[in-house]
Amino acid sequence: MDSSYQLDKPLLDEENSSQVNTLECTGDGSVCIRGHPALRKHTGNWKGSTLAIVYSFCSYLAFTSIVKNLVSYLTKVLHETNVAAARDVATWQGTSYLAPLVGAFLADSYLGKYCTILIFCMIFIIGLMMLLLSAAVPLISTGPHSWIIWTDPVSSQNIIFFVGLYMVALGYGAQCPCISSFGADQFDDTDEGERTKKSSFFNWSYFVANAGSLISGTVIVWVQDHKGWIWGFTISALFVSLGFGTFIFGSSMYRFQKPGGSPLARICQVVVAAIRKRDKDLPCDSSVLYEFLGQSSAIEGSRKLEHTTGLKFFDRAAIVTPSDCESDGLLNTWKICTVTQVEELKILIRMFPVWATMILFAAVLDNMFSTFVEQGMVLEKHIGSFEIPAASFQSIDVIAVLILVPVYERVLVPVFRKFTGRANGITPLQRMGIGLFFSMLSMVSAALVESNRLRIAQDEGLVHSKVAVPMSILWQGPQYFLIGVGEVFSNIGLTEFFYEESPDAMRSLCLAFSLANVSAGNYLSSFIVSLVPVFTAREGSPGWIPDNLNEGHLDRFYWMMAGLCFLNMLAFVFCAMRYKCKKTS
């Protein structure tokens, strides 16, 4: 962003203003791939967002095919312990959902969402190819091409696998908020009909992504366990390549939002300007605070934001003083900021408590990929002659999502609408609160199942044997279903909340923060799992989560998580009730 800007700026260039019919073009400033104002009829809407959904389906299928069975690969192929595998899974997933901050910053500041997606998708594909190579190392080390392995096969396999794994984390994570925001950008905020469709976009995008997750959790996990990891990684790479090609194919029908410059620079400018004017008195009338003239905002690709009360210290950045001018008609943006720029910072500060109270939900969700799988591995997995892989049982969570998203869209929203009068039924914050309640119930269900499993292990004399107990894995069904219900409410609500409440020029970055919430949750889960043996494995006791779960007390771990969920839910309600929504001009 330039260090200064003019007091007046035309809304459109004279050449464009004489040629563009505003009734035929979008009103949110979006452009077509040639840089001209986007036409409503020929760009965007469902035809543009559908291709984004298809790519999201393919990429999420590949990503979850790794997530769902990663703990099995680490324990069975790389021979890690249960605690080490659970910690590595949580750490890797945390990195996957921290990478969005990188991609979102580049997209909102310089590259735009489209170019950012293209770049990091290529990194994603290269990472998958390295995973494929790592799975082939045992074959290569005994074949005619053994010269490729520069150390012993075990070390080579570990190095190649973890490098590829974290390339997947970077590639998938960095493009994830961009594809969600890019798909939502296909609907014009200034058009009432298209704005209503945007909420449906988030629902159906999550639905289709989970359809991919269902395929990965059943078909691809089965292929990994029975046909080999080489075939599993090959299928994942092919799906991402297919989705990538489909996404590029629709380039001519997309709507593009111009990057608005570095959001970090704008935030720093507000802080610096407010500190410089900390001794200035705020005017009683907020209308005298500085704002860009005309209908457009000083920030490229952003609408103006109305002044809100609260966090008054930062309002000082918009106080106009004679020293703010560098020359005639120019203002130094490190000395004075617009109200819109100040409100951007206020929005981020107000969203932070809501973001923080959703971290534990992500930590609970992480158990589905670690402790839930480890619990399933010591349950009876046979139904007749068919054996259910423990990781595949996560598909119940996905099935719950696939069932409940249409039910929510077609049944619950109309019912809620009758009581609330809102077009979308309930607010994203209310939706997130309901999801937190169901996540707590999921932990309670898991604790009850584990208590019963341990009782059976004791009755059958299997406590000191590292074997599955005669209790069906189907008992895990309720805990997976309840956490799926929590996802439908909390995850979709969180995405919609961050997109709707974020400033126009910071939507990718704010969606990245919603994904960074998942990252923080995974790191929190890794931290909690690492602390459990420290505080519970004493005086000969193996602790709550030993390698032999029959000797442990995983049920106490789940009860502890349920208690934390309850306290966190109370904190969320408090923050949600105090939250002030943004106001656009």
Specify the pLDDT at position 294.
65
What residue type is 168 in one-letter code?
V
Q: What is the mean pLDDT of residues 329-345?
A: 80
- Choose between 460 and 353: higher pLDDT: 353
Q: Biggest alpha carbon distance in the chain? A: 88
Encoded tokens for 356:
């923080």
Q: Are strands 386-387 and 382-383 parallel, antiparallel or unpaired?
A: antiparallel
Tell the residue number behind the tokens 């074959």, with chain if given: 139
Quote the CA–CA distance of 410 and 415 in Å, as a whole number. 9
Distance CA 317, CA 334 (A): 9
Pairing of strands 325-327, 330-332: antiparallel
User: In the sheet where 330-332 sits, what is the strand order?
Assistant: 4-6, 330-332, 325-327
| Lowest-pLDDT range of 11-15, 30-34, 183-187, 309-313 | 11-15
pLDDT bin (cut points 50, 70, 90) of residue 154 is: low
Domain at 349-579: CATH code: 1.20.1250.20
Q: What's the gap between Cα 2 and its chain centre?
A: 31
> Which of these, 378, 343, 342, lies nearest to 552 by C-alpha position?
378
The answer to whether domain 23-142+150-261 and domain 349-579 are alike in fold is: yes
What lies within 8 Å, CB to CB, of 388 at 6+ separation is 381, 382, 473
Which pLDDT tens digit goes with each residue over 379-389? 888 777 777 77
pLDDT of residue 39: 79
Q: Rounded to whole angstroms, how far apart are CA atoms 74 and 370?
A: 11
- Is residue 5 within 8 Å of 327, Cβ to Cβ? no
Distances (CA, A) of 117 to 52, 114, 165, 177: 11, 5, 19, 9
Per-chain mean pLDDT for the chain: 81
DSSP 8-state symbol, 579: -
**Alpha carbons 207 and 492: distance in angstroms, whole number:** 10
Give dist(CA 289, CA 251) in Å, integer. Answer: 41
Contact 62, 96 (CB under 8 A): no
User: 23-142+150-261 domain in CATH 3.30.750.24?
Assistant: no
* Single-letter amino acid, residue 340: T
Structure tokens at 51: 């291709």
Residue 225: which of 60, 62, 68 has the closest Cα? 68
Q: Token pair of 101, please?
A: 């901050």
Rounded to whole angstroms, the Cα distance separating 302 from 312 reads 22
Contact status, residue 560 vs residue 381, Cβ threshold 8 Å = no
One-letter amino acid for residue 94 of the chain: G
Q: What is the pLDDT of residues 203-235, one digit of tens each?
A: 888 888 888 878 887 788 888 888 888 888 889
Reduce the DSSP state of residue 210 to 3 states and report it: helix
Is 0.85 surpassed by the pTM of this model? no
Digit-coded pLDDT (tens) for 392-435:
777 788 888 888 888 988 888 888 888 887 777 788 899 999 99
Instruction: Please give the Cα distance from 517 to 435 (Å, whole number).
Output: 15
Query: What ranges do the domains of the chain cover?
Result: 23-142+150-261, 263-344, 349-579
At 22, the pLDDT band (50, 70, 90 cuts) reads low
